[in-house]
Amino acid sequence: VDPAGKWCVQIGAFPDEADAIKLKNSLIRRYSTAKVIEFAGPTGHWVRINPQNADKTTASKIAENIHVPVPGALPYIVRLN
């Protein structure tokens, strides 16, 4: 996979929108320079962290270091373009 491009960290698929919003609000406080969004996806409500420096290295570091205390909420990186 070409590492160039814009990358983000996506976290889980929550069946309950309120759980996704709760996580989003928590992550907004932790990643104040990133854009944190919650949106409806094909398998539930997802949370995404779009770092200010949207390179693959930055996204990978966030994914490796984030600890989400919600079962099934696994962070992974996604290329946006």
Q: Got the DSSP string for 8-52?
A: EEEEEEESSHHHHHHHHHHHHHH-TTSEEEEEEETTEEEEEEE-S
Instruction: Identify the DSSP state of 19.
Output: H
Q: What is the pTM of this model?
A: 0.85
Give the pLDDT confidence of 51-78 residue by residue, as tens digits: 999 999 999 999 999 887 776 678 999 9
Question: What pLDDT sits at residue 58?
Answer: 94
Question: How many CA atoms lie less than 13 Å away from 66 in the CB half-sphere?
Answer: 28
